[in-house]
Amino acid sequence: MLGKGVVGGGGGTKAPKPSFVSYVRPEEIHTNEKEVTEKEVTLHLLPGEQLLCEASTVLKYVQEDSCQRGIYGKLVCTDFKIAFLGDDESALDNDETQFKNKVIGENDITLHCVDQIYGVFDEKKKPLFGQLKKYPEKLIIHCKDLRVFHFGLRYTKEEEVKRIVSGIIHHTQAPKLLKRLFLFSYASAAQNNTATDPKNHTVMFDTLKDWCWELERTKGNVKYKAVSVNEGYKVGERLPAFFVVPTPLPEEDVRCFQGRGIPIWCWSCHNGCALLKMSALPKEQDDGLLQVQKSFLDGIYKTIHRPPYEIVKTEDLSSNFLSLQDIQTAYSKFKQLFLIDNSTEFWDTDIKWFSLLESSSWLDIIRRCLKKAIEITECLEAQNMNVLLLEENASDLCCLLSSLVQVMMDPHCRTRVGFQSLVQKEWIMGGHCFLDRCNHLRQSDKEEVPVFLLFLDCVWQLVHQHPPAFDFTETYLTVLSDSLYLPIFSTFFFNSPHQKYINMGRESQDTQSKPLNLLTVWDWSVQFESKAQMLLKNPLYVEKPKLDKGQRKGTRLKHQRQLSLPLTQSKSSPKRGFFREETDHLIKNLLGRRISKLINSSDELQDNFREFYESWHSKPTDYHGLLLPHIEGPEIKVWAQRYLRWIPEAQILGGGRVATMSKLLEMMEEVEHLQEKIDERHHSQGALLAEAPPLLRSSARLSSLFPFALLQRHSSKPVLPTSGWKALGDEDDLAKREDEFVDLGDV
């Protein structure tokens, strides 16, 4: 199951719990306290970071099990993070720490990354909120990146326990003002140290030139134009300063409803069709105003829908697709499968893991998103129709689906620079409310809705199924998801470009105060050294073949996928039952009944989709052309590296996909070496291993959850639960199989 390995251990009935558990001997406590005094670990503070409270003689448990083993040290809380400072004798060697994050250490938790805080009172776990009358003997912190920390406070002074527990609760749960985020403290203190990476070529889409460049790249400049009507955000606060609209559309129309009801260009297909999005008009009760809106929309549609030359297919995402509540509810259930407090809980839930996974509906939501993206792709690619995405603010599911469609259809978006530019264009400039969706301000009336994480999970499905098509790795996607909670980057901490604009001091009349220079997450050198960044780049990425000058355009090249045949996915036939699901009707939406003529019937759409889907999967994959995922039930998998990386029991030492990749790299290195001898060259043009991390060449020492698993302290083997495992054999037999791994396969 998900690459989980079941490590054999002793079984049997549970022993009665002792009335007192001695974690360490008294002399060990004395020794550890002495070491903390003599060997004080330095707290590294970022520019602008301030220490708020601390507590000494805190025990951080290595694993919360019957052994109760741990490390003594100091627990501190700053205005940026919670950090544990301890002298860990089992420190990793230099090779294994090559993926160390320069901003956040192994025992650091940013305040924004804290998901839930629990206290243990007389062996009972309770959530902690607000002011406490009684303070716990143990503190448990669940993180949004799915880490779980246990801190023992039994030997900590009472006053220090009160300060550290109250401080952590307050600074992670109390509502905040935007200007009080650490983002601004850091930017103010590091004004002279925020040099950008010259190798970062991400297009930020904050200038008119960037949009013109994108139009030219996609050949969309024939029918669409970049406009600056909202420069200075004079028209609407939800729009970017610059964007693209159909060429015939008068700029006066953009001003009518603050940019609402305007078809905004996302991307153009090679055949001239375009993907557009539109936000809903304000809801009005007055008949006169409703008539004005109807006349306005009629005029807009005459601009973009001119059959037979221009045909528009609408997708109403507000009423005929997922809701934000669906996403929020599913992820809340899903994440609980990975927030494991101890080894016993892991094995107790393992027996019903598949049913819990299915009941969360998270994988089904991913499948629905991919299916909808394929439907949109089919309209653009096969039916030569423009597609208009409709949503209340066009900033949630519009961002997700428009981005997915471009990843599937545009190979440029499958490079790292292209993918980052895509996120900038569709999510940042598209006005996705990261501040609200991640609830960075801890507002009590808002719940976290991980729309962007859902997008990354959908992209991971594509990366997992078609590795050679992507310039980046799943590790890149994992650290990108972690960066959502790093408040030194401005990328994911605003609701719109306008909100960022007014809070950076751009509107200030004070000529002496300089606008803040906020960092972007795309400067990976801030987080990782160059060696670590190598793990973000896919060494098996198939470069696009370059045509020789004398080669004719019509000549078909032999595809480079043959270099990576072991990674080729089998083309399984789709399940017939899957396609019986009815397609939602798109007739009732804000544009009225007249657009029903533009929408195909449900049956016809399903037939077109099935034919398009099956036809593509029956042919060899072109990694630089259209790319479709398998969406049948078993093909949608759990993103193991992100969700399981902190659970030692879920790792396969020396196994998993990383072992396969390691062997492939060794074989390819050998082939290239032989090719160099044949060609009598020392610099092969396609040297795929030139930037391959050396660690990958030694799969025996790696975990299936590399590179994060190397940060784990491998714990003692667990005791299998006595209930539910009778079918596996006698418990005495299980106890003898201590080193045997039972691979339960992938989901």
The CA-CA-CA angle for residues 726, 732, 736, to 5°, reads 115
Tens of pLDDT along 98-139? Answer: 589 999 999 999 999 999 999 999 999 999 999 999 999 999
Q: Note the pLDDT of residue 198.
A: 63
Phi/psi at 719 (5° precision): -95, 125
Distance of CA 494 to the CA centre of its chain: 17
Closest alpha carbon to 378 in 412, 400, 407, 405? 405
Tell me the pLDDT tens digit for each residue of 561-589.
223 333 333 334 343 333 333 333 332 33
Q: How far is CA 170 from CA 163, 176, 448, in A?
A: 10, 10, 19
Q: How much is the average pLDDT of 208-235?
A: 96
Residue 743 domain flag = no
Secondary structure (H, E, C), 79-106: CCEEEEEECCCCCCCCCCCCCCCCCCCC
Are 157 and 228 in the same domain?
no
Distance CA 48, CA 185 (A): 5
Biggest CA pair distance of the chain = 87
Q: What is the DSSP string of 132-162?
A: -SS--SEEEEEETTS-EEEEE-TTS-HHHHH
Kindly give, in sequence order, each residue whose CB lies less than 8 Å from that of residue 272, ignoring residues fewer than 6 positions away.
219, 222, 223, 384
What pLDDT does residue 517 have? 86
Structure tokens at 112: 């924004």
Please check whether residue 29 lies inside any domain of the structure: no
Whether 711 shows a pLDDT value over 70: the answer reads no
224 with 96, same domain: the answer is no
Q: Which of 189-193, 295-299, 376-380, 536-540 has the lowest mean pLDDT?
A: 189-193
Q: How far apart are CA 692 and CA 538, in angstroms?
A: 8
Same domain, 170 and 272: no
Specify whether 141 is located in the same domain as 219: no
Domain boundary among 125, 157, 174: 174
What is the pTM assigned to this prediction? 0.83
Query: Are the C-beta atoms of residues 707 and 535 closer than 8 Å to each other?
Result: yes
Contact status, residue 656 vs residue 699, Cβ threshold 8 Å: no
Residue 53 has pLDDT above 70, yes or no: yes
For the residues 318-339, what does the mean pLDDT come to? 95
Gap between the Cα atoms of 305 and 246, Å rounded: 11
CATH code at position 104 = 2.30.29.30
One domain for residues 450 and 354: yes
What integer pLDDT is reported at residue 572 of this predicted model?
A: 41
Q: Which residues does 683 contact at the CB level (< 8 Å), separation at least 6?
A: none
Pick the most confident of 223-232, 536-545, 546-555: 223-232
Query: Is the same domain home to 241 and 169?
Result: no
Confidence (pLDDT) at 591: 35
SS3 content of the chain, % helix, strand, coil (to 5): 40, 15, 45
**What pLDDT is stored for residue 611 in this prediction?**
94
Domain annotation covers residue 125: yes
Residue 555 lies in a domain: no
Alpha carbons 173 and 531: distance in angstroms, whole number:
36
Contacts of 603 (CB under 8 A, 6+ apart): none
pLDDT band for position 701 (cuts 50, 70, 90):
low
Binned at pLDDT 50, 70 and 90, residue 378 comes out as: very high
Alpha helix locations (H) across 10-140? 26-38
CA 602/CA 613 separation, integer angstroms: 16
DSSP secondary structure string, 302-339? Answer: HHH-BTTTB-EEEEETTTSS--HHHHHHHHHHHHTTT-
Domain boundary among 489, 520, 535: 535
Q: Provide the residue range defining the domain that includes 112.
A: 51-174
pLDDT of residue 84: 97
Give me 585's structure tokens.
């009707």
Cβ atoms of 684 and 675 within 8 Å: the answer is yes
pLDDT tens by residue, 623-644: 999 999 999 989 999 999 999 9
pLDDT recorded at residue 657? 79
Question: Which has the higher per-residue pLDDT, 178 or 677?
Answer: 178
Q: Are 241 and 232 in contact (CB under 8 A)?
A: yes
Shared domain for 128 and 248, answered yes or no, is no
Q: Which residue has the higher pLDDT, 92 or 640?
A: 640
Show which of 469, 504, 535 is a domain's final residue. Answer: 535
Question: Within this chain, do residues 256 and 158 fall inside the same structural domain, yes or no?
Answer: no
Selection from 327, 475, 477 nearest residue 407 by Cα: 477
What is the overall mean pLDDT for the chain?
A: 81
Q: Residue 228's closest CA among 254, 203, 202, 261?
A: 254
Tokens of residue 300, six digits: 């807009």
102 and 161 housed in the same domain: yes
Domain membership flag for residue 87: yes
Same domain, 373 and 460: yes
Burial of 613 (0-12, 13-18, 19+ CB in 10 A): buried
Question: What pLDDT is attached to residue 679?
Answer: 80
- Count of domains observed in the chain: 2
Would residue 186 count as lying in a domain?
no
Does residue 330 lie within any of the structural domains?
yes
Q: What is the pLDDT of residue 724?
A: 40
Higher pLDDT, 614 or 674: 614
Quote the pLDDT of residue 33: 42
Do 397 and 481 lie in one domain? The reply is yes
Nearest by Cα to 423 from 520, 526, 280: 520
Model confidence at 428: pLDDT above 60: yes
Reported residue count of the chain is 747
Per-residue pLDDT, averaged over 35-39, amounts to 43
Q: Residue 719 pLDDT more than 80?
A: no
Pair (61, 133) in one structural domain: yes
CA 679 to CA 608: how far, in whole Å? 49
Is residue 559 in a domain? no
